[in-house]
Copies of this chain bind each other. A is one copy, B any other.
């Protein structure tokens, strides 16, 4: 109830501060019999890791994950899976200065009011370092979905500052440090990052994700809609300020005759809905976007107050990404995997004995 658990049937309960002894989580509800080892998780963690490229923070976090339970003889047993990452490179000295003042745009001020205190070292629990456990847990969901349901998830950078990106070549995503699916524009991105870094500033971004292969029927109507739960999942990622499904905010400007995705025996005639109708998957691709604010950790000094309410100036000198959106791609993918996995278990709990007589029609995929 204190908000550290995600999901209802496939749950992730996480703990850990940026500069405490360790981060960890408990993944509960994983069906038994899934082949799983630490390398499955490490592969995804390495995609998120700072230090992966010259454009993301140069902190050296090994992020080596251990599986402490729930796996026996190489397979999940159905009991909870405990995961642990020890914090090794803590460098507390970088952060002592911020103990007495609130960094603008960060959670310092709000934590102080909520709890009357805060672990100020590196942002404590509010640090983006917390998302490592989401990626590790998401890797389990992802593996199950791929192996048992044929569901796959992919993501890409969709915008950085004024640069909007398309998806001319999805296969390029893993080959560049921006998770960019339009490789011909990498030079633009590099130039923008350099410019922002030189200015001591930061820049926002948007990420796009797609879930393919979903059967129709996932999602609960009314409150726990698949799209509502995905919106929560994405909005819970540090720095996210907006979430769109399918046509997204642009739907406000559309006519119904243009928006509706007609059905034909050959398939859907469009995917404005982004794969969800009435909160339930339609069998089309689940398509979502999230916008991330530019980080407030930057070299340009900002006005603030200290814990006594007196004026103070704040400069963030540590090692920080000029664009946090780059690292958000694998995190958003992980949150989508957790959301879909949870709804798969929920769906089959109630509907395992349903055999629909209506045919499934193909998804719309233009090209």
Complex contacts, A199 vs chain B, CB 8 Å: 255
Q: Which of B205, B246, B351, B353 contacts A252 (CB 8 A)?
A: B205
Besides A254-B294, A348-B352, 18 other A-B contacts (C-beta < 8 A): A4-B223, A14-B80, A15-B28, A17-B72, A20-B72, A21-B68, A31-B352, A33-B354, A109-B282, A112-B358, A114-B216, A222-B236, A228-B233, A241-B248, A241-B273, A264-B304, A345-B349, A348-B348
Complex contacts, A17 vs chain B, CB 8 Å: 69-70, 72, 79
Stretch in A45-53, A57-65, A119-127, A180-188 with 4+ CB within 8 Å of B: A119-127
User: How far does the Cβ of A304 sit from chain B's closest Cβ, in whole Å?
Assistant: 5
- 20 A-B residue pairings within 8 Å (CB atoms): A3-B346, A5-B11, A6-B223, A9-B349, A15-B80, A17-B79, A20-B72, A26-B26, A107-B278, A114-B216, A114-B280, A116-B357, A161-B254, A223-B236, A225-B235, A228-B235, A255-B294, A256-B300, A262-B302, A273-B293
User: How far does the Cβ of A146 sit from chain B's closest Cβ, in whole Å?
Assistant: 15
**Cα distance A110–B295 when bound, in Å?**
39
* Integer count of this chain's copies in the complex: 4
* Highest count of chain B CB atoms <10 Å: which of A77, A233, A235, A307: A235
Return the CB mask of A115-144 against B: 1 if under 8 Å, else 0: 111110000111000100000000000000
> Are B251 and A241 in contact, CB atoms less than 8 angstroms apart?
yes
In the complex, A105 has a CB within 8 A of chain B: yes
> Are A242 and B241 in contact, CB atoms less than 8 angstroms apart?
no
**Cα distance A21–B71 when bound, in Å?**
11
Complex contacts, A231 vs chain B, CB 8 Å: 231-232, 234-235, 243
Measured as residues with beta carbon below 8 angstroms from the partner, the interface class of chain A is 35 or more
> Are B124 and A305 in contact, CB atoms less than 8 angstroms apart?
no
**Cα distance A346–B5 when bound, in Å?**
14
| Residues of A281-324 contacting chain B, CB below 8 A | 281-283, 289, 291-298, 300, 302-305, 307-311
